[in-house]
C-alpha cells in the first residue's frame, strides 16, 4: 500500500478498513513493542497494548473528540505509553525512559500529558473481554448494543424460539460480565465510576 497521510489513516480506522489497520500495525507496532519489552513486558503484552491504544483512538474518532496535535504515529505511541504507565504503576513498577520514548524525531504531543478518560479505560476492558467470547455471543452482544429486538436477534441467529433467544442473550451477557468482574482492573474502575456517576459498572 502506498504512503498514507494522517487523515487517510484516521479515515481508514473510522471506516474499519482492514488494509489500513494492517498498515498501521506494520508501521508502528515495533515502537510499542520496544516500549513494552524494555519496560517489564512481553511481546504478547505489546500486542494487547497496541489493540487497546487502537480502541481508544476508535472511541475518540466516533465521539469526534480527536484532533491531532502531532503525527498519528506519535499520537498512537503516546496513547499506548499512557496505558502502559498506568498498568506499571498499578503493579508498583516504573518505566525506563529509553531513547525511543522521547526520540527527537517524535514531536511533542498533548496526549502525553493527558490521562485516559474513565470511559476509554472502560471500553478497553470491555473490548478485551468481548474478544474472548464465542462468535455467536459476539454477534448477539453486538445486536444487543444496537438495541435490536429479540425477534430480530432470533431471525439473525436462526434460533427456533424467542424463549431460547432470550436464554442465549442472558448467557452471553452473563459470560461477558463475569469476565469483566474478574479483571484485575475492575475494582478500581468500579470505584471510580461510582465516585463520578453514582452508577455501578457494569450494570
Cell of 132: 474472548
The better pLDDT of the pair 93, 59 is held by 59
Which domain-ending residue is among 115, 143, 162?
115
Q: What is the residue-averaged pLDDT of the chain? A: 80
- For residues 50 and 2, the answer to whether their CB atoms sit within 8 Å is no
pLDDT at position 177: 92
Cβ neighbours for 156, distance < 8 A, ≥ 6 positions apart:
139, 143, 148
The better pLDDT of the pair 69, 169 is held by 169
Q: What total number of domains does the chain contain?
A: 2
- For residues 85 and 40, the answer to whether their CB atoms sit within 8 Å is no
The better pLDDT of the pair 49, 96 is held by 49
For residues 104 and 169, membership in a common domain is answered with no
For residues 99 and 193, membership in a common domain is answered with no
**What helix, strand, coil percent values describe the chain, rounded to 5?**
65, 0, 35
pLDDT tens for each residue of 189-198: 777 766 554 4
For residues 103 and 124, membership in a common domain is answered with no
Residue 19 domain-assigned (yes or no): yes
Cβ neighbours for 168, distance < 8 A, ≥ 6 positions apart:
136, 137, 140, 157, 159
Residue 203 domain-assigned (yes or no): no
- For residues 110 and 74, the answer to whether their CB atoms sit within 8 Å is no
Q: How far apart are CA 179 and CA 84, in angstroms?
A: 21
Asked if the bond preceding 31 is cis, omega within 30° of 0, the reply is: no
Q: Which of 81-85, 131-135, 153-157 has the lowest mean pLDDT?
A: 81-85
First to last CA, the chain: 43
For residues 126 and 111, membership in a common domain is answered with no
Residue 127 domain-assigned (yes or no): yes
DSSP state of 16: T
Looking up residue 10, the CATH number of its domain turns out to be: 1.10.1740
3 state DSSP class of 185: coil
Which residue segment(s) compose the domain that 175 sits in?
A: 119-197
Which domain-ending residue is among 98, 115, 132?
115
pLDDT at position 21 over 50:
yes
- For residues 80 and 37, the answer to whether their CB atoms sit within 8 Å is no
For residues 111 and 13, membership in a common domain is answered with yes
Mean pLDDT of 112-135: 74
Which domain-ending residue is among 69, 88, 115?
115
Residue 202 domain-assigned (yes or no): no
For residues 168 and 136, membership in a common domain is answered with yes
Amino acid at each position: 500500500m502506498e504512503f498514507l497521510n494522517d487523515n487517510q489513516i484516521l479515515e481508514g480506522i473510522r471506516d474499519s478498513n482492514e488494509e489500513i489497520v494492517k498498515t498501521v500495525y506494520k508501521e508502528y507496532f515495533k515502537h510499542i513493542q520496544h516500549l513494552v519489552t524494555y519496560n517489564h513486558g512481553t511481546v504478547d503484552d505489546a500486542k494487547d497494548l497496541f489493540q487497546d491504544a487502537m480502541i481508544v483512538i476508535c472511541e475518540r474518532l466516533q465521539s469526534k473528540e480527536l484532533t491531532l496535535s502531532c503525527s498519528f504515529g506519535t499520537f498512537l505511541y503516546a496513547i499506548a505509553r499512557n496505558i502502559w504507565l498506568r498498568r506499571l504503576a498499578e503493579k508498583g513498577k516504573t518505566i525506563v525512559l529509553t531513547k525511543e520514548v522521547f526520540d527527537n524525531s517524535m514531536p511533542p504531543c498533548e496526549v502525553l500529558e493527558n490521562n485516559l478518560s474513565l470511559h476509554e479505560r472502560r471500553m478497553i476492558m470491555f473490548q478485551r473481554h468481548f474478544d474472548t467470547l464465542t462468535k455467536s455471543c459476539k454477534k448477539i452482544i453486538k445486536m444487543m448494543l444496537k438495541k435490536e429486538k429479540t425477534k430480530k436477534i432470533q431471525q439473525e441467529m436462526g434460533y427456533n424460539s424467542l424463549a431460547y433467544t432470550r436464554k442465549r442473550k442472558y448467557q452471553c451477557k452473563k459470560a461477558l460480565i463475569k469476565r469483566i468482574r474478574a479483571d484485575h482492573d475492575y475494582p478500581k474502575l468500579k470505584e471510580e465510576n461510582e465516585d463520578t456517576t453514582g452508577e455501578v459498572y457494569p450494570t
